[in-house]
A and B are shown apart, each in its own frame.
Chain A
Amino acid sequence: MVPIAYYLVLSAILFSIGVAAFLIKRNIITVFMSIELMLNAVNLTFVAFAHQWHRVSGQIFVFFVMVVAAAEAAVGLAIIIAIFRTRHTLDVDQVDLMKL
């Protein structure tokens, strides 16, 4: 049996990659994907712990996360399309009208 630590380390690596990408990347779609990556890294820990403790609640939580992620993707992609149509760019640094 694979020890739980392996899952957690993998999850942490994935999450960190997601955070780093979120901070570094300028393309909105990439930023969006990195958010998804972080969500899935968390999902992995949920599943790992659910398996470890033989609890089903962790797995059910993953479903909820997926549902939310799907809804978020739908809304988020719509926003991205709207931004592209009005601003003709996908660079987040160009979309800073709200900045001081």
Chain B
Amino acid sequence: MTSSLHLWLIPLVPFAGFLVNGLLGRRFPKALVTAVALIATLIPFLQVANIALHYSSLTLPYTERVATWIAAGGFHADFAFAFDQLTLIMLLVVTGVGFLIHIYSAGYMAEEEGYWLFFAYLNLFMFFMLTLVLAENFLLMFVGWEGVGLASYLLIGFYFAKDSAAKAGKKAFVVNRIGDFGFLLAMFLLIAHFGTLSFSEVFSQVAQHPEWQGGFLTAIALFLVLGATGKSAQIPLYVWLPDAMEGPTPVSALIHAATMVTAGVYMVARTHSIFDRSPFALSTVGIIGAATAFFAATIGLVQTDIKRVLAYSTVSQLGYMFMACGVTAYSAGIFHLLTHAFFKALLFLAAGSVIHALSGEQDMRVMGGLRKKIPITFWTMTAAVLAITGAPGFAGFFSKDEILYQDFLSPHGGKIIWLVGLITVGLTAFYMFRLWYLTFFGESRAPKVAHDDHSHGHSHGAHESPWIMLVPLIILAILSLIGGWVGVPSALGGHNEIQHFLSPAIGAPQEAAEGSRSLELLLAAVSVAVGAIGWFFAHLLYFAKPELPAQLAAKVRGLYSLLLNKYWVDEFYGAIVVTPLLLVSRYVLKGLFDTGVITGGGLAAGYATQGLGSLVQRVQSGNIRSYAGWLALGAAALLLLTYFGFGTHLLFR
């Protein structure tokens, strides 16, 4: 028997931190704000670590019902938390990476306005994210789901005085609402068909009815996918994530790379019982993932803003996770989620360190030659780049190859998804090494005239970041190196521990056929080779012959500008969705309906009453005799009526 794990404490402690900093932080000294925020994140991490250490003595899955939230007739939703292997992985990622990023933020944000507010928001985000991960039912998960969206909105728009940041925050929020709408519809369908939103009850009902295939389960799954594409920035709702880079860099690392954007993948893995019954929904997930991975990677090839490259890379990597989920290889998806959290958080934090070193410069075209000036950032970034490109031994190598291998094997996805994933490996290697070369190698391309961007208030000239920022980088670099070792496939002499670990919670993919070890090795070798080709081109274009990219861009100008302008997707959405919506709002809803019907109706009612009043107010002369006259007239009229009898049966019934 497992003793109580007190799971409720895990989300509540960051919430307390949010309250303390949010309500009182304005008057606190910075050190106190930092202490409150860090402790409020450290406690959940320690608690999760403690649970992880006692893992073998737990009976899983474990649920903890704190209180009834909604009870209406036969339906009830509780404040209930669940804990299983999947939750444990997510909790470790969220609290572990989250804590590291909190530390980093203390250095990165040290000289920013609203320091206390930033940490209050970060703690608020941790609260909602942990609620999302721990929730035992869809509704509580939705609370976290919406809450992280809110925190994301607040943090993207943290520099709200900047117009683009405020707009990016709004865009993220609105686009996410579209996905949330799908999640809501899925919940309505779940209530209609199951009468409950509890994970365990829904999944056990599904398990008891093997005859349920497709049908309403497909509908539920597709609506959940819509929700996931919003939160996890997949086609067609990915457009908010690149713009979200307007937020402070630690936010990009925490929310828009490591944790929140993986919520969609987590949700699909969590509800895998439903997806397993719907091949159509699964192929949808796989196709969305593959398309997004490829599409975003191609955009990433030509972006010049260092954070935007990483943003498209995040979208692309999330596509890989969806590709895994699409072929029921959920554990591979979660494995990639884990490694991605390490190396992508590291990439963002290292990019933040670069930006910090250059006093706010984000354009890679004016970077270069930073290798010697900021060596620690350089080496940690190198580890991350190797991890994401799948260099053998690094974290991304194992998780990405697992996904590609599972895709290759799967009868659902077929070889096409695998092929797209493989090409994307090459693209990923190209744009990551492009970033690496542009930032750290060659000569500095910074204009000689010192630009007057004082957003960090530092003196000019690149300088290494303080240790409070470097320590998280180093820890994450180590994790990017060894993080994949928990999932070494048997073909490479490992045991794929993470897959076995997760299998009680989310099932294992079908067993590989005999003799597939050589196949797996072959696939891994192919993907490494493709990655190496990507590296080779990046090396050629951005290191060996730096004058070549401009010539190449001029040669294929159409393609180049298509990519540079992100396929004009924003413009396309603007033309077919946003502009019509605005026009309809302005002219039909506001002009016709609001001004015309509502305001006009109110005015008309007022004027009608006024006019009627001015007509009959003559009667109220105040002259007694006129009243008496009206009285006599009325009496005479009544008399005549009664005398001649018409209408009397109506008047005097």
Contact = CB atoms under 8 A, between A and B. Distances in A.
A19 B623 contact: no
Interface stretch (B148-156, B198-206, B624-632): B624-632
Nearest to B617: A100
18 contacts: A19-B632, A22-B625, A22-B628, A23-B625, A23-B628, A23-B629, A23-B632, A92-B624, A92-B625, A96-B622, A96-B623, A98-B622, A99-B621, A99-B622, A99-B623, A100-B620, A100-B621, A100-B622
Nearest to A31: B625
Interface string B602-628: 000000000000000000111111001
B581 to A, nearest CB: 54
Contacts of A99: 621-623
Contacts, number: 18
Nearest to A24: B625
A25 to B, nearest CB: 9
Interface string B524-548: 0000000000000000000000000
Interface string A1-37: 0000000000000000001001100000000000000
Contacts of B632: 19, 23
Which secondary structure dominates chain B's binding surface?
Answer: helix
Contacts of B629: 23
A89 to B, nearest CB: 16
- Counting chain A residues whose Cβ lies within 8 A of the other chain, the interface size class is under 10
A19 B629 CA distance: 9
A92 to B, nearest CB: 7
Interface of A: 19, 22-23, 92, 96, 98-100
Contacts of A22: 625, 628
- Counting chain B residues whose Cβ lies within 8 A of the other chain, the interface size class is under 10
Contacts of A96: 622-623
B630 to A, nearest CB: 10
A22 B632 CA distance: 10
A23 B623 CA distance: 11
B430 to A, nearest CB: 89
A96 B629 CA distance: 17
A19 B635 CA distance: 11
A19 B625 CA distance: 11
Interface string B64-103: 0000000000000000000000000000000000000000
Nearest to A12: B639
A23 B626 CA distance: 8
Contacts of B628: 22-23
Given A22-B628, A99-B623, 15 more contacts: A19-B632, A22-B625, A23-B625, A23-B629, A23-B632, A92-B624, A92-B625, A96-B622, A96-B623, A98-B622, A99-B621, A99-B622, A100-B620, A100-B621, A100-B622
B3 to A, nearest CB: 84
A98 B624 CA distance: 10
Nearest to A26: B625
A38 to B, nearest CB: 10
A23 B625 CA distance: 6
A82 to B, nearest CB: 17
A19 B623 CA distance: 16
B406 to A, nearest CB: 90
Nearest to B635: A19
Interface string B214-237: 000000000000000000000000
Instruction: Pick the 9 closest A-B CB pairs, nearest first.
Output: A99-B622, A100-B622, A19-B632, A23-B629, A23-B625, A23-B628, A22-B628, A99-B623, A23-B632
A99 B625 CA distance: 11
A100 B623 CA distance: 9
A18 B621 CA distance: 23
Contacts of B620: 100
A98 B620 CA distance: 12
A99 B621 CA distance: 7
A23 B636 CA distance: 14
Nearest to A23: B629
Nearest to A100: B622
Contacts of A100: 620-622
Interface string B293-304: 000000000000
Nearest to B629: A23
B385 to A, nearest CB: 89
A99 B627 CA distance: 12
A99 B620 CA distance: 10
Contacts of B624: 92
Contacts of A98: 622
